[in-house]
Amino acid sequence: MALRDLEQAKQTAERTIEAASSALREVSLSIHAKPELNYEEHHAHAVLTDYLAAQGFAVERGAYGMPTAFKAVTGSGGPTLAVFCEYDALPGIGHACGHNLIAISGLATGIALKAALGEGNGTVLVLGSPAEEGGGGKIRMMERGALEGVDAAMMLHPSPGDTAWPAMIALEQVNVEYFGRNAHAGAAPWAGVNALDAIVLAYTSISAMRQQLRPTDRVHGVITKGGEKANIIPDYTSAQFLIRSKSLSDLNEVRAKVLGCFEGAALATGCRLNVVPPPGPAYADVSTNDVIAEAYCENMERFEMRMPSKEASAGLGGASTDMGNVSYVVPSIHPVFGIPTEDGAGNHTPGFTAAAATEEAHRATLRASKALAMTALDLYANPDLLKKAWAEMRR
């Protein structure tokens, strides 16, 4: 696409998204009404792939050997840009991370680019990535070639505020089990080996250790099994912990300390510790590509959105995403866009679930999607911009 046609292409992108608003809203609400967990997103997978196929994309359902992943392609020639959809929910609280909105932001961006680019000006991939909430869907997809030939990747995420530089940090899950010995808690407690004591000791050791962590580190967990009955010394307990840090190397340091707490509790109580293999690979921090993020901010200004600078965004956040791993393979952005919530409810709360279904959140999603599509058009139209993005990535 010649650069002089860029403005026209951006207007086409905007019009296309606006015209699809009610159809996209229907898709969003349908996914919101039927929340599905990691790798079980069959309804969302069906709704999204049906939509893209009806729009003329070449759709591969169950892509990369994963039943709920998909790949939808349109356009031809280079460059190739990938836009990710997410659509998994959280146990008990449904779409409390608003992934129904991310799902339609991928559709909106995809159809806008299809209409604005035409043939021969570049290739658009809409990639459906399951299991962002801990399952590492994007990492598995990458291992199976999803990013081969891709020049840049992008996606959007709802949050209480807007920035193109969210501080999304590295994450790893550590699940542990303690094995002790049952005994009658009244008649012969000395015969028991108390697995609950082990987990409580580990929990309090980690709490004490937290004082020595950097402000950018996080360790948080829940006891998933604490015993059966007060009159039985528990012979089995389990816990799930998450460790987060600024980078994977910081994360490795914190993990060693956390494992020390678990081992110490085993020694103190005489229990056997089992560190369960994590359900998915560690998430890297998001390395936002400044060149592409700045283009996104400029495009958001077309909608009277003054975006905070990189400097002003530093340290905001503390959540994690498998988009981090993508961002270390190709230049990437993962801007967050604000949706109005009651009483300042943040992601992973029932208040956010409610907010993710509102008309206001839908409008905010479309606005951010328009800016994302325009940012992609900047990259398609201007090979130098993509070169700059890659030069920054190599640095």
**Site residues (vs Zn ion, CB under 5 A):** 97
* Cis amide linkage into residue 79, ω under 30° from 0: yes
From the CB of residue 259, how many other CB atoms can be counted at a distance below 10 Å? Answer: 16
Give phi and psi for 353, each to the nearest 5: -60, -45
Least distance between Zn ion and beta carbon 38 (Å): 11
User: Which residue(s) pair with 283 in the sheet?
Assistant: 171
Round to whole Å and give the CA distance between 258 and 276.
14
Which is closer to Zn ion, CB of 81 or CB of 89? Answer: 89
CB 124 within 8 A of CB 141: no
Least distance between Zn ion and beta carbon 90 (Å): 7
Round to whole Å and give the CA distance between 154 and 333.
5
Least distance between Zn ion and beta carbon 198 (Å): 30
Least distance between Zn ion and beta carbon 156 (Å): 11
Which is closer to Zn ion, CB of 59 or CB of 101? Answer: 101
Least distance between Zn ion and beta carbon 78 (Å): 31
Which is closer to Zn ion, CB of 97 or CB of 183? Answer: 97
Q: CA dist 355 to 226, 249, 344, Å?
A: 34, 36, 10
Which is closer to Zn ion, CB of 97 or CB of 356? Answer: 97
Among 21, 7, 15, 8, CA closest to 365: 21
168: amino acid identity, one letter: M
Which is closer to Zn ion, CB of 83 or CB of 115? Answer: 83
Least distance between Zn ion and beta carbon 158 (Å): 8
CB 358 within 8 A of CB 100: no
The residue sitting closest to Zn ion, measured at its beta carbon, is 97
Cβ neighbors of 203 (< 8 A, separation 6 or more) are 221, 223, 239
Which is closer to Zn ion, CB of 97 or CB of 393? Answer: 97
